[in-house]
Amino acid sequence: MLRISKVIVASCILLAAVAVTATAAQLSQKELLGKMIYKDKNLSLNSNQACSSCHTGSVGWTGPNSDVNASGAVYEGSIPGSFGDRKPPSAAYATQSPLFSVQTQAGAQLFVGGNFWDGRATGWKLGNPAADQAQGPFLNPKEQALPNAAAVVSKVCSSTYGDLFVAVWGSTACDGSDIALAYDKIGLSIAAYEASQEVNQFSSKFDADKGRKCLTNQETHGAALFMGKAKCHLCHVGSGKMPLFTDFTFDNLGIPKNPENPATIADPTFVDPGLGGFLRNLAANDDWRKLTYVTNVSALESKQLEQLAVANEGKHKVPTLRNVDKRPDASFVKGYGHNGYFKSLERIVHFYNTRDVLPVCAATDLPLTDEYAQANNCWPAAENPNNINMQEVGNLGLSSAEEAALVAFMKTLTDGYKPK
């Protein structure tokens, strides 16, 4: 028996070593170009912000500032004082999201896919949600804040990697003949990088484990809970060959308002509408009918979309859990949920377990932060009270050892695992 277990341990190390070497794989020319664009701070109004400023590899491709994560969790744009209203999700594993579309399941319409918390980067334009998404931040006044596509194209063409841009996409990319097309190529280049092996490493302890028993007893226990009693797997799908720990659907978990969100500070009545807000815009704006990418959403009438907006109010896209614990050091804080309300994995797991068990926090003048809720053993009311999922989350009956095991399991999803 002992002999066999030694062999198993050895093969775990071997596989992990293969995974780590694979991550050092060379980028293609297009992926390299995308990386240059992704990291170029010059592509912002004040030359102070790149995509990587809010999506950094060392923190799991999300926000790299521990103090920001520990409070409002929303990042300042290129223009000082300008803020969005959500936490940056991971830019890794996002390219694998399908085009935003609707399916009918058990007589109800179920939305799937796209990028952003509310799915509004549909992929209908460039055939890839991440490429559609990548065209947004440069021109978003609350992010990189450049005036128009021509300004972005001009900066790319005159950059140190301008030649690479032409080498990859041809001379028309920089001759000014078709700015819209050149801007599309910028989006596609970034999406190529985001889809590369450097970004989507699949090199976690979980990946190394596959049938080789690398996980500790506690992590294995956590995996079993994740797939079973704790029901996480129903949305963060963890089975299959290279699972992404999301099914790209949308749900309202009833997460509390983050009182430190700049949007809430500016307007205490702010409520994030999530997918409902996007569907309302879609219904109001007939342009979506003209899109070349025909999806089954375009078969829906505006009136029906308005009803679906109500039914999807408050829902956010299920995020990947890969790299959910990746951080530069143990003291670095990450915020969890679309508004970064929860300040640790322990806390969000406790919420899943006890949302419907602990009392609602009593009225007070203090901000109802995660820290406050923890100290007072209560949960604040949901930010958005509509369509809260009452079936799968809220009262899981987990012991504190089971909560800890779930956290331990999620920590095995960090890329760059090196066996000791």
The C-alpha angle with vertex 122 and arms to 118 and 128, in degrees rounded to 5, equals 130
> Which residues 6+ apart lie within 8 Å of 75 measured at CB?
53, 54, 63, 65, 68, 83, 84, 88
Q: Is 69 in the site for ligand HEC (CB under 6 A)?
A: no
Q: Is 130 in the site for ligand HEC (CB under 6 A)?
A: yes
Q: Which stretch binds ligand HEC (CB under 6 A): 4-12, 21-29, 335-343, 374-382?
A: 335-343
- The Cα 76–Cα 99 span in angstroms is 29
Q: Which stretch binds ligand HEC (CB under 6 A): 83-91, 105-113, 286-294, 363-371?
A: 83-91
Q: Is 280 in the site for ligand HEC (CB under 6 A)?
A: no
Both tokens of 334, joined, read: 């990450």
Q: Is 101 in the site for ligand HEC (CB under 6 A)?
A: no
Q: Which is nearer to ligand HEC, 12 or 415 (CB)?
A: 415
Site for ligand HEC in 395-414 (CB under 6 A): 406
Q: Which is nearer to ligand HEC, 251 or 260 (CB)?
A: 251
Q: Which is nearer to ligand HEC, 32 or 406 (CB)?
A: 406
Q: Is 138 in the site for ligand HEC (CB under 6 A)?
A: yes
Q: What is the residue whose two structure tokens read 């095995």?
A: 412
- The Cα 375–Cα 236 span in angstroms is 29
- The Cα 209–Cα 13 span in angstroms is 9
Provide the minimum distance between the beta carbon of 329 and ligand HEC in the complex, in angstroms, as a whole number: 19
Among 59, 68, 91, 208, binds ligand HEC (CB under 6 A): 91
Among 30, 35, 86, 185, binds ligand HEC (CB under 6 A): 86
Give the CA count within 13 Å in the CB-facing half-sphere of 26.
2
Among 202, 351, 352, 379, binds ligand HEC (CB under 6 A): 352
End-to-end Cα spacing for the chain: 23
Contact criterion met (CB below 8 Å) for 148 and 178: no
Contact criterion met (CB below 8 Å) for 56 and 285: no
Residues for the chain: how many in total?
Answer: 420
Q: What is the residue whose two structure tokens read 């599309």?
A: 184
Q: Is 174 in the site for ligand HEC (CB under 6 A)?
A: no
Q: What is the residue whose two structure tokens read 């694979």?
A: 22
Q: How many CB atoms lie within 10 A of CB 329?
A: 7
Contact criterion met (CB below 8 Å) for 248 and 317: yes
Q: Is 349 in the site for ligand HEC (CB under 6 A)?
A: yes
Among 70, 153, 348, 382, binds ligand HEC (CB under 6 A): 348
Q: Which stretch binds ligand HEC (CB under 6 A): 148-156, 170-178, 285-293, 311-319?
A: 311-319
- Residues in binding contact with ligand HEC, number by CB under 6 A: 51
- Among candidates 87, 119, 92, which has minimal Cα distance to 35? 92
Provide the minimum distance between the beta carbon of 268 and ligand HEC in the complex, in angstroms, as a whole number: 19
Q: Is 51 in the site for ligand HEC (CB under 6 A)?
A: yes
Q: Write each residue from 354 to 393 as x if it is in contact with ligand HEC (CB under 6 A), else as -, in one continuous string.
A: -----------------------------------x--xx
Distances (CA, A) of 235 to 53, 135, 203, 228: 29, 28, 22, 12
The residue ranges that bind ligand HEC (CB under 6 A) are 38, 49, 51, 53-55, 75, 77, 84, 86, 88-89, 91, 94, 115-118, 130, 133-134, 137-138, 143-144, 190, 230-232, 234-236, 251, 253, 255, 316, 318-319, 321, 324, 336-338, 345, 348-349, 352, 389, 392-393, 406
